[in-house]
């Protein structure tokens, strides 16, 4: 621990004793609310020893926790002499400080946050030392970002839950839906697509894949914008377009104004719709990052955004979009190739979705082979990108039958599809949509002609 002689590192002896005492008195009931604390998060050395003994006893088949049971573990660990007046006397004394099990989480949070503060001190010292050692600036910045992002997730519960807790969560979600409340899941807001796809749940990796000009970015924008307008936080990483261009697309989508009307002199009616759309997004929880393209930075920024914008909300809903996989940069291992890099990217995105408990949408460019073959895209078109198909929970292919050279100048409406190539635990098929080439708009085939379209533009 880095500290100066006149300053004691952050800690709370009282909170540590209360958590330990409660574990010794209430056993499993207390441990269930202890946030999965690790012994190294305790500051007092013999508190760490006590927690090691408690964790060892809790891991036994009996799961019994009390001063006598834990004494056996203390002896095995050889730490009996570390406790003032011996283990039994100390343990009985600290047991008198126990709170009720339901309050353990509060004191465990105090212990964890103090440990995080100590880690922050160490991180700052580490970054300072690396800076003096002439560490390259990108590496120095990555080390600082990664360390801070890890600290921002302090307080997230460990993932192990009893099956009854998972069932209760499912029943609660279904009960909310029966009462007409917004579900905890994400929808695309395209009726014909949602009918097949169902709701998108936390932890899922959704691929949106296609050739240029087929609407990958626009479909992703439609989904993230529709959810943001109903106050579901969203973060979009744009590796191909500036934030300003994405903002223009969002306004076109919301205002139902043709992109052609925003070129040259803009008429007053169109501008009023644009300003109204801008007002709709003023308070929408939607963020765009068009600056970073390194995988490690994307993961770190996602964790940081989640900690600030999602974790603090009562209903931890949100979604992330990365546009697109082939533009994400990773540190290439010696002898590695791009196929392995894309596999690393998809694996990292799936892990990120699982870690944060929200869906991640990863856009993917398909190869030219699909144009040579003709016909709709298939899952086999993803195979050259390593484990994309394996990591994805859902795969969406925006598709129409026009060749790239036929896109220009075609203003009539035409039928198109969003093909569901993979839908883990759900149906696959094709959602029928209507495309309006002048606006590059996706309309659900079941919607009225004046329904809000999902605008897109050429060059996607």
Q: What is the per-residue pLDDT across 230-250, written as a single tens digit (0 to 9) for each?
A: 889 999 999 888 888 888 888
What dotted CATH number matches 13-135? Answer: 1.10.860.10
Mean pLDDT, residues 29-46 taken together: 89
pLDDT at 187 over 80: yes
How far apart CA 460 and CA 455 sit, in angstroms, is 11
- Evaluate whether 13-135 and 184-444 have a shared fold: no
Tokens of 281: 């997004």
- What residues does each domain of the chain span? 13-135, 184-444
pLDDT band of 99, cuts 50, 70, 90 = very high
Tokens of 447: 């919607």
Asked if 256 and 438 count as a contact pair (C-beta separation under 8 A), the reply is: no
Mean pLDDT, residues 9-23 taken together: 95
pLDDT at 333 over 80: no
Tokens 């930075």 belong to residue: 297
Position 254 scores a pLDDT of: 82
Mean pLDDT, residues 414-422 taken together: 83
How far apart CA 98 and CA 105 sit, in angstroms, is 13
Strand pairing category for 319-323 and 360-365: parallel
Mean pLDDT, residues 71-82 taken together: 91
Position 404 scores a pLDDT of: 55
pLDDT band of 443, cuts 50, 70, 90 = confident
Asked if 454 and 219 count as a contact pair (C-beta separation under 8 A), the reply is: yes
How far apart CA 69 and CA 25 sit, in angstroms, is 12
What is the third-level CATH fold of 184-444? Rossmann fold (3.40.50)
Mean pLDDT, residues 33-61 taken together: 89
Position 18 scores a pLDDT of: 96
Position 161 scores a pLDDT of: 62
Strand pairing category for 286-289 and 319-323: unpaired
Position 90 scores a pLDDT of: 94
pLDDT at 98 over 50: yes
Query: What does the mean pLDDT of the chain come to?
Result: 81
pLDDT band of 294, cuts 50, 70, 90 = confident
Share of the chain above pLDDT 70, in %: 82
- Concatenated DSSP letters of 265-333: SPPHHHHHHHHHHHHHHHT--EEEE-S--BHHHHHHHHHHHIIIIITTSSS---EEEEE-GGG-B--PP
Q: Which residues of 135-173 are buried (b: 16+ CB within 10 A; e: fewer)?
A: eeeeeeebbbbbbbbbbbebebeeeeeeeeeeeeeeeeb
How far apart CA 351 and CA 25 sit, in angstroms, is 37
Q: The whole model's pTM is what?
A: 0.67
Residue 14: strand, helix, or coil: helix
Q: φ, ψ for residue 403 (rounded to 5)?
A: -80, 155
How far apart CA 352 and CA 296 sit, in angstroms, is 11
């Amino acid at each position: 621990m880095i500290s100066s002689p006149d300053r004691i590192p952050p800690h709370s002896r009282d909170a540590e004793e209360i958590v330990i005492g409660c574990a010794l008195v209430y056993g499993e009931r207390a441990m269930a609310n202890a946030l999965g604390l690790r012994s190294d998060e305790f500051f007092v050395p013999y508190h760490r020893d006590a927690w090691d003994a408690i964790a060892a006893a809790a891991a036994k088949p009996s799961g019994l926790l009390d001063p006598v049971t834990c004494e056996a573990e203390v002896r095995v660990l050889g730490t009996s002499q570390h406790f003032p007046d011996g283990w039994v006397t100390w343990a009985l004394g600290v047991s008198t400080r126990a709170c009720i099990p339901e309050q353990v989480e509060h004191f465990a949070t105090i212990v964890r946050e103090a440990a995080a503060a100590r880690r922050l001190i160490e991180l700052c010292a580490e970054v300072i030392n690396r800076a003096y050692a002439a560490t390259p600036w990108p590496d120095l910045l990555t080390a600082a970002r990664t360390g801070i992002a890890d600290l921002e997730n302090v307080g997230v519960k460990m993932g192990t839950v009893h099956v009854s807790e998972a069932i209760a969560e499912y029943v609660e979600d279904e009960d909310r839906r029966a009462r007409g409340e917004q579900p905890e899941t994400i929808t695309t807001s395209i009726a014909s697509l949602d009918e097949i796809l169902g709701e998108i749940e936390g932890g899922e990796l959704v691929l949106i894949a296609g050739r240029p000009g087929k609407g990958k970015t626009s479909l992703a924008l439609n989904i993230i914008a529709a959810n943001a307008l109903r106050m579901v936080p969203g973060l979009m990483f744009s590796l191909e377009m500036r934030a300003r261009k994405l903002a223009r697309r969002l306004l076109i989508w919301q205002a139902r104004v043709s992109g052609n009307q925003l070129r040259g002199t803009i008429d007053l009616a169109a501008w009023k719709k644009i300003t109204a759309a801008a007002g709709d997004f003023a308070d929408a929880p939607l963020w765009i990052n068009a600056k970073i393209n390194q995988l490690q930075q994307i993961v770190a920024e996602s964790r940081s955004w989640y900690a600030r914008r999602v974790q603090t909300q009562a209903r931890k809903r949100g979604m992330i979009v990365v546009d697109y996989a082939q533009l994400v940069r990773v540190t290439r291992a010696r002898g590695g190739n791009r196929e392995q890099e894309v596999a690393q990217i998809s694996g990292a995105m799936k892990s990120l979705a699982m870690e944060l408990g929200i869906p991640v949408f990863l856009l993917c460019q398909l190869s030219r082979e699909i144009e040579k073959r003709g016909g709709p895209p298939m899952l086999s078109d993803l195979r050259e990108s390593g484990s994309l198909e394996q990591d994805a929970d859902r795969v969406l292919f925006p598709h129409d039958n026009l060749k790239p050279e036929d896109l220009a100048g075609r203003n009539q409406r035409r039928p198109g599809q969003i093909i569901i190539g993979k839908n883990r635990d759900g149906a696959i098929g094709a959602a029928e949509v209507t495309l309006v080439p002048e606006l590059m708009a996706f309309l659900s085939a079941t919607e009225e002609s004046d329904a809000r379209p999902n605008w897109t533009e050429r060059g996607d």
